[in-house]
Chains A and B, each alone.
Chain A
Amino acid sequence: MKTSYREALRAALREALQDDPRVFLMGEDVGRYGGSYAVSKGFLEEFGPERIRDAPLSELGFVGAGIGAALGGMRPIVEVMTVNFSLLALDQIVNTASALRHMSGGQFSVPLVIRMASGAGRQLAAQHSHSLECWYAHIPGIKVLAPATVEDARGMLAPALADPDPVIIFEHAQLYNLEGESNHVAPVDISAARVRRTGSDVSLITYGGSLPKALQAAELLAGMGIDAEVVDLRVLRPLDSQSIVASVRKTHRAVVVDEGWRSGSLAAEVMARIVEQAFFDLDAPPARVCSEEVPMPYARHLEEAALPQAAKIVAAARAVMGK
């Protein structure tokens, strides 16, 4: 069935709310407004204000309340409008949610799901466009997911809710209108990366909003006689090293594509693992395409120049191929 990423997220949320009375959605403008990306439009009428809970602009407060409610036996889904705003809640996520199980000696798990939009591409400039998945992927005690397909948008929420630990789901803002096939029958696996296009010459390893760009680049490369494999990480913590290494062992070349800034990026971590675990399988040094290290500019041409694009991925892949 053809549907959109947004509709897939909606369907997953509705199913979760219908299936489990402990589930509720909380965040800024999730109710009367319908969600800043219209993901929860109509839910207020369907599920009522107790379970579709509009929160004041208190990210620290309502993310922390989500943690407390999870401790108290509920299964909250907290929506934070963008990853930039989530920085106001970073204390509760890092110091409490991720640490509580450990510092209580295993007594308290925090079964909380936090959804947030991330990423650039809509000329929203330097306070609404960032890609900070890497920061969260740095933290032990939480899991980080990046659905990049309609199927994952539909299928990742249920296993995230079933997970006893905090799970952060990054929805790239450029993907909400993505159309694709969803033949949802069961929750998807949230432990493994997935090959989205098989190829034999070079592995393009990416996640989230860069997946469509990598797939586009792979098509362009095919026209140049280069057969690229595209690996969608999907799960940013814990990283599925096995799938990354398996692909590199096959193609012997790797280009990591990551919308985060280059220094200290997730791409850097993926490359480190490739070097650690598949060094002697490499025919060329691994390369990466990341965002330029500039706060996101507003002007369209500058924003485009700052971000990974298919043309840059093609150029990096060709360089790795020596072409």
Chain B
Amino acid sequence: MNASAVPYDKPFALRLLKDMLRIRRMEEEAAELYGAGKIRGFLHLYIGEEAVAVGALHALQPDDAIVATYREHGHALVRGVSMNAIMAEMFGKQEGCSRGRGGSMHLFDAATRFYGGNAIVGGGLPLAVGLALADQLSPEGISYGAQHRRRVTACFFGDGAVAEGAFHESMNLAALWRLPVLFCCENNLYAMGTSLARSESQTDLCAKAAAYKVETLKVDGMDVVAVHDATRIGIAHVRDKGGPFFIEFQTFRFRAHSMYDPELYRDKAEVEAWKQRGPLHSYSARLKAQGMLTEDEFLACDAEAQAEVDASIAYAEAGAWEPVEDLMRDVLTPVGGTTS
């Protein structure tokens, strides 16, 4: 465990803890609700990886854009999508953030510039390149000028994505065109059941990005402080210099790939060893050691998170099924409708 001091003021230090707890409790309940048949389809849990979304997203500004994967409940939540809307979406209710059309894998939110919820591995990377290209080209982007900061597009993807052509094409385009993209690689060592070592000739992911002349950082993704600090460095680079930046967050998912996964491909001992480095208890222990957190305060934070989860479940339960008569809506934009 990293025992160095947490260098933040107490409100922010607790904000990080609370957000990790919110994700953890929400997903633990989601797993239960999956078992109860309330949530269906694929459900990919982020449990164990919370420090990455929490540390990274708290380094972004409200007008930055986020592109995420199908393991994105935590990213959506920390970005500001309400837990109610996320839970309702997983229930398939029309109060969901994607009106029940997306489900767990396709959380979207225009208000917070949250562009999914992309369930094709690597599919979000070209999208992020394009969002950044729009920022570079658009009149508003240009008007930021020298004294104003650039908007950044943060793109999350897993280690599995580095095997896709989309990763390599996107890395090249972003570097070639000096686009403001922060590439956030969540390396949890397994692409579903295939370990990095079994699928890549080069397992140093930063070396892959560096091959495209993208600057990189490798960081302990179980340590929310390290994640946050690395992301701040990456963001500063993108805003000040304009080109992309790549961060490899070394992390681990404690749960199966999805609810269908029997986990035949990894040893329990490996999972247990990573759990010892769990982001929640290691961070709270540091805060306690530093005198920034008491056990009572921790329990209060946890209770607050659990209450929010309970309320979101009630909200989702009370939500409505979209009328079947509306089935065909949102295939095309209605005449006179608005575009992003």
Contact = CB atoms under 8 A, between A and B. Distances in A.
A72 B101 contact: no
Interface residues of B, number: 50
Contacts, number: 163
A105 B101 contact: yes
B138 interface: yes
A165 B127 contact: no
Interface string A229-267: 000000000000000000000000000000000000000
A237 B127 CA distance: 24
A67 B98 contact: no
Contacts of B139: 21
A140 B327 CA distance: 13
A282 interface: no
A96 B115 CA distance: 11
Contacts of B125: 64
Contacts of B137: 24, 50-51, 69, 74
Contact of A56 (B173, B330, B331, B333): B173
Contacts of A92: 123, 126
A63 B117 CA distance: 19
A68 B165 contact: no
A107 B117 contact: no
B98 A68 contact: no
A21 B120 CA distance: 32
Contact of B130 (A50, A64, A103, A143): A64
B176 interface: yes
Contact of B131 (A22, A55, A58, A71): A71
B102 A60 contact: no
A109 B333 contact: yes
A141 interface: yes
B127 A64 contact: yes
Interface residues of A, number: 44
A30 B332 CA distance: 29
Interface stretch (B103-111, B231-239, B248-256, B303-311): B103-111
Contact of A102 (B116, B132, B134, B331): B331
A104 B126 contact: no
Given A91-B123, A103-B101, A107-B109, A68 B340 contact: no
A154 to B, nearest CB: 24
B134 A73 contact: yes
Nearest to A21: B139
Given A58-B173, A72-B65, A74-B138, A101 B331 contact: yes
B141 to A, nearest CB: 9
A96 B173 contact: no
B127 A101 contact: no
B135 interface: yes
A56 B134 CA distance: 18
A86 B333 CA distance: 24
Interface in A116-168: 140-141, 143, 164-165
A29 to B, nearest CB: 15
A106 interface: yes
Given A72-B134, A92-B126, 8 more contacts: A50-B137, A64-B166, A65-B130, A68-B127, A69-B137, A101-B333, A102-B330, A104-B116
6 contacts: A61-B172, A64-B127, A65-B126, A96-B123, A101-B333, A165-B332
